[in-house]
Chain A
Amino acid sequence: KAGVTQTPRYLIKTRGQQVTLSCSPISGHRSVSWYQQTPGQGLQFLFEYFSETQRNKGNFPGRFSGRQFSNSRSEMNVSTLELGDSALYLCASSPSSISETQYFGPGTRLLVL
C-alpha cells in the first residue's frame, strides 16, 4: 500500500505570495491532518479533515486554510506569506480519527524569502 505523499517537496516563495500544498492520503484513509514543524515551535496542529469537513483547527491565523476533496486528497493554502511561515508542513492520514494510528508523509519544506 502506498504511503502518504506530499507535493511539492520543496518550495521557495517571497513574502506576500500565496502557496498551495497537496497531500494524498493512504488509500482508504478518510482523516487527513496538517501540521507545521519549526525549530522554535515544534510540531503544531493546523487542522483535520474528514469526509470533506474540517472537524477541528489549531491556533493559526485565517491565512492558513485547507480543504479536502471527495477522494480524501487534501490541500492547504497559505495566503500573504510571512517570513515566519517558513517551516516543514506535514500531512498525516488515518482511517477515520486522529486518535488512530496516523501515517505521516515526508513533508513539504517551505522557505519564505
Chain B
Amino acid sequence: GENVEQHPSTLSVQEGDSAVIKCTYSDSASNYFPWYKQELGKGPQLIIDIRSNVGEKKDQRIAVTLNKTAKHFSLHITETQPEDSAVYFCAASNFGNEKLTFGTGTRLTIIP
C-alpha cells in the first residue's frame, strides 16, 4: 500500500521567515496530495491541495510543489506569522481508491 514519509518532524522558524515541509510517497498511482493544519484540540483543516496534473499551486502565503518523477511534494509557507504555529500533515490518495494515507506530521513553531 501507499507509504508517506514527512520531514522534518519539528521545525522552528523566526517570524517573517519561510518554512518548508517535505513529503515523499511510494505509490506512483497516487494523484491527490492535500496538506492539513491541525491546531490544539481541533480536527485537521485543509490548507491547500494539489493534483498530479499540476506542478505547483499557490494560495497567498502558502504554496505546494509536486515532483511526480521523484514522488515528492512540499509545502512552502512564506512570511510566517505566530498563527502559523500548528502541526502540519501531508497526505496522498488515489482518486477512486478512496483511501487517504497521512504523513507523520510536522510541528511548526513560529518564534516571535
Contact = CB atoms under 8 A, between A and B. Distances in A.
Interface string A54-98: 011011000000000000000000000000000000101000011
B42 interface: yes
Interface stretch (B66-74, B78-86, B95-103): B95-103
> Chain A CB within 10 Å — which of B36, B94, B100, B102 has the most?
B100
A7 interface: no
B93 interface: yes
A97 B102 contact: no
Interface size class of B (residues with CB under 8 A): 20 to 34
Contact of A90 (B44, B96, B98): B44
Contacts of A50: 98
Interface size class of A (residues with CB under 8 A): 20 to 34
Contacts, number: 63
Contact of A33 (B1, B94, B96, B100): B100
> Chain B CB within 10 Å — which of A35, A98, A105 has the most?
A98
Given A42-B105, A99-B32, A102-B34, A48 B99 contact: yes
Secondary structure class of chain A's binding surface, majority of residues: strand
Contacts of A4: 43
Given A42-B104, A44-B102, A99-B32, A56 B44 contact: no
A101 interface: yes
20 contacts: A4-B43, A33-B100, A42-B102, A43-B102, A44-B102, A45-B99, A45-B101, A45-B102, A55-B98, A58-B99, A90-B43, A97-B95, A98-B93, A98-B99, A99-B31, A99-B93, A99-B95, A99-B96, A102-B46, A104-B44
Q: Which 7 A-B pairs have the closest CB atoms?
A: A104-B43, A99-B32, A43-B102, A99-B95, A55-B98, A56-B99, A56-B98
